[in-house]
């Protein structure tokens, strides 16, 4: 069967399944009038933010398109537009369904945990299947149209650039609003989280959607597109542009979609495990992932028996693909260990909270640093095994197989923010206490699932970046420059140091941006408390939209500077210090980027869950001194896990793609 047709069919199936899930979400009641009004406010705020973010990025995009067109030709420029538009679209659709699912989860929670769970997962699955569907569709469609695998780099560049902006802008928005709302609301005014009297409460909810839904969707779309294209590109460079090899990654992607659709049917909260325990909820989600993985391994085996490329590859091909699935499974286990309330790292942080704010932070930083070791060993081990079976292309295939699980991984991930916001809406709409209890039970696993996706994304980014680095090397030699990247070459070493610096600088800027945005929110909330009489008594409504507007402006202003780092540094180093230094830079940014990103995303989630662990009644529970210290840790973890950490993933890829694009001019 024609691979491209199969791939288009799978994309269609994914989008169709997503549409079917949308129908399943929309047919349910959005709740009472008050809930609808709240959802409307969040929807409007989120849509308005995304519109302004896209407008800002549009101007950057225009410049990029013109430069690409002039220097690299029309197809690459078109690819850039397709990638950017599809990425923005993926984020937009995912978010628009998420904001609609939020209230419906709260409404369903009135009828029990199982129904709320089902609605939450459906909402999340919409994002999951739309993102992979759009990603595979744009890859296949564009490749079919251009007939040129190299132009796909443009597609990847468009997706990555949008993704960096979405991650940064969304991350600064959400954590600026969150930290700002908490600082004045919880700390100064002493009102609970999600209290409707807090003028920043809608901004906080909007933030969750633009970051955890739209930002995450753009990020995973980018991860998928860039990884797949790097595998296609490497196949083309290594195997003389042989179509069956170039198109093979698309086949893996297609099989992944079919497996994910079937696997998603296994996600169901049975009455026996609906006791509200996080274990049962997590198990229900993992069952779907496990089923998908098992089906995929079966399909991979089928390939090796029944397709020409499979027969040529034989069992080695099969095992390379299995490595990708194994990496996903191991990353899930490791991240779960470091971020779940069940295990010692989170418990250690909770215990350290009993001796104060400082010891909570010290314990959290120690966990965040330690949490890098096993993932890096997994990635290095996978690289080694895959390489020993199929050299560079082995690593590429493992990467692609890892990505084939994206649909279900992202569905599980998006489940988190949807149930989180459902709880927020229940709080604001004054729904009965058991509704909030149900949503809290669902949300409790959200931190871990979010951390798992980030771990998955960064691990695949590490592998994909390695593939991109090889593509860069190949590209240089294609343009007549045989460059050797030797560690004893001073230019390579300088590149390594400068590249290693980039995630640190990027992370620092992102953290500072959150601080600035939060500061702006604090000022505005204080102003409203001062100037609008009756807010605290509930007789006057706060001006939610001004708070949304202020944090929108702050996020858009602050996202520009860090986003330029992965563009300007590679260009400067490439043209000033040469291709050897640029190669060093690429490896440097991957090496420190992996550590900084993993430590931030896992560490942040561990801090958050340590707080939740105390809220479960340990060490004095809510309101105790230990809880206050744990809230501090959570505040620190917020920009770690939701702003700086996840944005490093697309940042690494942008740097690599920029290098690929300028390779011919060096």
CA–CA dist 430, 37 (Å, integer): 13
Q: Does 207 bind a second copy (CB under 8 A)?
A: no
Closest approach of Cβ 305 to a second copy, in Å?
29
Q: Does 168 bind a second copy (CB under 8 A)?
A: no
CA–CA dist 128, 121 (Å, integer): 10
Q: Does 545 bind a second copy (CB under 8 A)?
A: no
**Residue 21 or 471 having the CB closest to a second copy:** 471
Cβ 217 vs Cβ 94: under 8 Å: yes
CA–CA dist 292, 301 (Å, integer): 14
Q: Does 191 bind a second copy (CB under 8 A)?
A: no
**623-645: b or e for each residue (b if 16 or more CB lie within 10 Å)?**
ebebbbbbbbbbbbbbbbbbbbb
Is residue 195 helix, strand or coil? coil
**Residue 73 or 356 having the CB closest to a second copy:** 356
CA–CA dist 23, 11 (Å, integer): 18
Instruction: Identify the helix (H) or strand (E) that includes residue 514.
Output: helix 490-531
Q: Does 636 bind a second copy (CB under 8 A)?
A: yes
Is residue 372 helix, strand or coil? coil
Radius of gyration of the chain (CA): 24
Window 469-498: residues binding a second copy (CB under 8 A)? 469-470, 473, 484-488, 490, 492-494, 496-498
Q: Does 610 bind a second copy (CB under 8 A)?
A: no
**Residue 163 or 360 having the CB closest to a second copy:** 360
**Residue 341 or 491 having the CB closest to a second copy:** 491
Closest approach of Cβ 192 to a second copy, in Å?
17
Binding-site member from 316, 501, 532, 571 for a second copy (CB under 8 A) = 501
Closest approach of Cβ 9 to a second copy, in Å?
36
**Residue 138 or 354 having the CB closest to a second copy:** 354
- Using CB under 8 A as the binding criterion, the count of chain residues that bind a second copy stands at 75
Tell whether the torsion through CA atoms of 344, 345, 346 and 352 is positive or negative: positive
Window 391-430: residues binding a second copy (CB under 8 A)? 392, 395
Cβ 420 vs Cβ 208: under 8 Å: yes
Helical ranges in 110-266 per DSSP H? 113-146, 152-182, 201-208, 216-238, 243-264
Q: Does 620 bind a second copy (CB under 8 A)?
A: no
Window 11-30: residues binding a second copy (CB under 8 A)? none
Closest approach of Cβ 458 to a second copy, in Å?
13
How many Cα neighbours within 13 Å face the side chain of 131? Answer: 40
CA–CA dist 632, 646 (Å, integer): 21
Binding-site member from 9, 238, 365, 564 for a second copy (CB under 8 A) = 365
Which range binds a second copy by CB under 8 A, 10-18, 165-173, 289-297, 465-473? 465-473
Q: Does 93 bind a second copy (CB under 8 A)?
A: no
**Residue 293 or 367 having the CB closest to a second copy:** 367
Cβ 304 vs Cβ 310: under 8 Å: yes
Which range binds a second copy by CB under 8 A, 117-125, 324-332, 384-392, 534-542? 384-392
Binding-site member from 217, 431, 631, 661 for a second copy (CB under 8 A) = 631
Name 431's Cβ contacts closer than 8 Å, sequence gap at least 6: 35, 106, 109, 110, 425
Q: Does 387 bind a second copy (CB under 8 A)?
A: yes
**Residue 368 or 414 having the CB closest to a second copy:** 368
**Residue 214 or 597 having the CB closest to a second copy:** 597
Question: Which of these, 54, 83, 56, lies nearest to 223 by C-alpha position?
Answer: 83
For residue 266, give the DSSP letter: T
Q: Does 370 bind a second copy (CB under 8 A)?
A: yes
Residue carrying structure tokens 């906080």: 204
Q: Does 592 bind a second copy (CB under 8 A)?
A: yes
Closest approach of Cβ 475 to a second copy, in Å?
13
Closest approach of Cβ 517 to a second copy, in Å?
12
């Amino acid at each position: 069967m024609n691979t491209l047709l199969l791939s288009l069919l799978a994309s269609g199936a994914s989008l169709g399944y997503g549409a079917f899930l949308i129908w399943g979400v929309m047919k349910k009641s959005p709740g009472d009038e008050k809930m609808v009004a709240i959802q409307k406010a969040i929807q409007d705020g989120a849509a308005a933010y995304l519109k302004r973010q896209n407008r800002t990025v549009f101007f950057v995009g225009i410049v990029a398109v013109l430069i690409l067109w002039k220097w690299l030709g029309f197809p690459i420029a078109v690819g850039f537009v397709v990638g950017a538009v599809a990425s923005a679209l993926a984020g937009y659709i995912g978010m628009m369904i998420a904001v609609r699912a939020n209230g419906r989860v709260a409404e369903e929670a009135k009828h029990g945990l199982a129904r709320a769970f089902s609605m939450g997962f459906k909402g999340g699955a919409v994002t999951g299947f739309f993102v992979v569907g759009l990603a595979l569709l744009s890859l296949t469609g564009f490749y079919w149209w251009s007939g040129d695998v190299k132009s796909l780099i443009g597609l990847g560049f468009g997706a990555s650039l949008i993704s960096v902006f979405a991650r940064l802008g969304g991350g600064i928005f959400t954590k600026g609003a969150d930290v700002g709302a908490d600082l004045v609301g919880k700390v100064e005014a002493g009102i609970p989280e999600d209290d409707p009297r807090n003028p920043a409460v809608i901004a906080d909810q909007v933030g969750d959607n633009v970051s955890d839904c739209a930002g995450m969707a753009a990020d995973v779309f980018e991860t998928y597109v860039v990884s797949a294209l790097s595998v296609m590109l490497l196949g083309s460079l290594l195997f003389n542009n042989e179509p069956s090899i170039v198109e093979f990654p698309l086949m893996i992607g297609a099989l992944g979609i079919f497996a994910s659709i079937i696997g998603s049917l296994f996600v169901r909260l049975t009455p026996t495990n609906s006791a509200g325990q996080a274990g049962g909820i997590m198990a229900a989600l993992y069952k779907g992932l496990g089923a998908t993985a098992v089906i995929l391994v079966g399909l991979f085996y089928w390939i090796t028996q029944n397709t020409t490329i499979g027969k040529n590859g034989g069992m080695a091909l099969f095992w390379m693909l299995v490595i990708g699935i194994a990496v996903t499974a191991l990353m899930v286990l490791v991240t779960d260990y470091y971020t779940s309330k069940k295990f010692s790292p989170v418990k250690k942080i909770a215990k350290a909270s009993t001796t104060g704010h400082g010891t909570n932070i010290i314990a959290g930083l120690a966990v965040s640093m330690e949490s890098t070791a096993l993932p890096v060993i997994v990635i290095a081990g996978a690289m080694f095994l895959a390489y020993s079976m199929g050299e560079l292309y082995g690593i590429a295939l493992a990467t692609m197989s890892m990505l084939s699980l994206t649909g279900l991984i992202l569905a599980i991930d998006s489940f988190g923010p949807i149930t989180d916001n459902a709880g927020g809406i229940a709080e604001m709409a004054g729904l009965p206490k058991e509704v909030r209890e149900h949503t809290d039970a669902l949300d409790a696993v959200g931190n871990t699932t979010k951390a798992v996706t980030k771990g998955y994304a960064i691990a695949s980014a590490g592998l994909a970046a390695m593939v991109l680095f090889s593509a860069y090397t190949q590209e240089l030699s294609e343009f007549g420059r045989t460059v050797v990247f030797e560690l004893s070459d001073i230019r390579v070493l300088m590149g390594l140091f400068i590249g290693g610096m980039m995630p640190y600088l990027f992370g620092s800027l992102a953290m500072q941006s959150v601080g600035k945005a939060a500061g702006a929110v604090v000022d505005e909330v204080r102003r409203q408390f001062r100037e609008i009489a009756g807010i605290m008594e509930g007789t006057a409504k706060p001006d939610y939209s001004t708070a949304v507007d202020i944090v929108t402006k702050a996020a858009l202003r602050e996202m520009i500077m860090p986003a330029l780092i992965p563009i300007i540094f590679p260009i400067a180093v490439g043209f000033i210090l040469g291709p050897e230094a640029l190669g060093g830079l690429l490896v440097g940014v991957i090496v420190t980027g992996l550590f900084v990103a993993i430590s931030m995303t896992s560490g942040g989630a561990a801090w958050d869950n340590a707080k939740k662990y105390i809220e479960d009644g340990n060490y004095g529970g809510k309101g105790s001194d230990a809880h206050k210290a744990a809230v501090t840790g959570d505040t620190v973890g917020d920009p770690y896990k939701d702003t700086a950490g996840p944005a490093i993933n697309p940042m690494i890829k942008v740097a690599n793609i920029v290098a690929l694009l300028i390779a011919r001019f060096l």
